[in-house]
């Protein structure tokens, strides 16, 4: 009789252990499906990150302006919920390094924007509505913000329900 009671206690203990293991497994998996991992942004400053020395050598810039721009671009990615890819790349910049055209890639959807130094600080100055579908800025916007021609050599205007491109 004592063997039967001892066997029952062992069986109950085993069943409880299996129950706790299963409960932990299901609770653990439930938490995993509710969390969203953030994709680490990739910032490519490309040509803006380098300049030519007086000897004509290409050197990497280390000034505060580059660090400040990097911080601005990272802050612009904080509210994005990209699943696989989050990249910001400089496409072109002015010779005096105070304005740039950039692309923003979030899971294959690409948007374009400009950033410009105003009062010594980098600022995002555009919204996507100022671009044609192929990434060309509106002429009005280019004029309003006095964008350098090397950053935005081409612009567009809407005339008579059609898009016309202009070389600036």
Residue 76 has pLDDT above 90, yes or no: no
Interatomic CA distance for residues 152 and 149, integer angstroms: 5
Per-residue pLDDT tens over the stretch 102-149? 888 999 888 888 888 888 889 888 766 788 877 889 999 899 888 889
pTM summary value: 0.67
Interatomic CA distance for residues 55 and 41, integer angstroms: 35
Residue 102 CB coordination number (10 Å): 25
Interatomic CA distance for residues 135 and 113, integer angstroms: 9
Question: Which pLDDT does position 2 carry in this prediction?
Answer: 62
**Phi/psi at 68 (5° precision):** -65, -45
């Amino acid at each position: 009789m004592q063997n039967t009671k001892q066997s029952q206690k062992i069986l109950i203990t085993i069943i409880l252990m299996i129950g706790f293991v299963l409960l932990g497994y299901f609770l653990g998996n439930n938490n995993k499906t509710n969390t969203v991992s953030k994709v680490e942004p990739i910032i490519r400053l490309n040509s803006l990150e380098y300049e030519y020395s007086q000897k004509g050598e290409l050197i990497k810039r280390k000034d505060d302006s580059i660090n400040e721009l990097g911080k601005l671009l990272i802050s612009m990615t904080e509210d994005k919920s990209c699943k696989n890819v989050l990249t910001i790349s400089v496409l072109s910049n002015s010779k005096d390094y105070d304005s740039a055209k950039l692309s923003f890639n979030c899971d294959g959807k690409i948007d374009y924007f400009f950033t410009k130094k105003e009062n010594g600080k980098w600022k995002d100055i555009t919204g996507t509505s100022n671009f044609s579908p192929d990434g060309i800025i509106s002429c009005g916007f280019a004029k309003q913000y006095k964008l350098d021609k090397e950053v935005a050599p081409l612009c567009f205007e809407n005339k008579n329900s059609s898009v016309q491109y202009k070389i600036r």
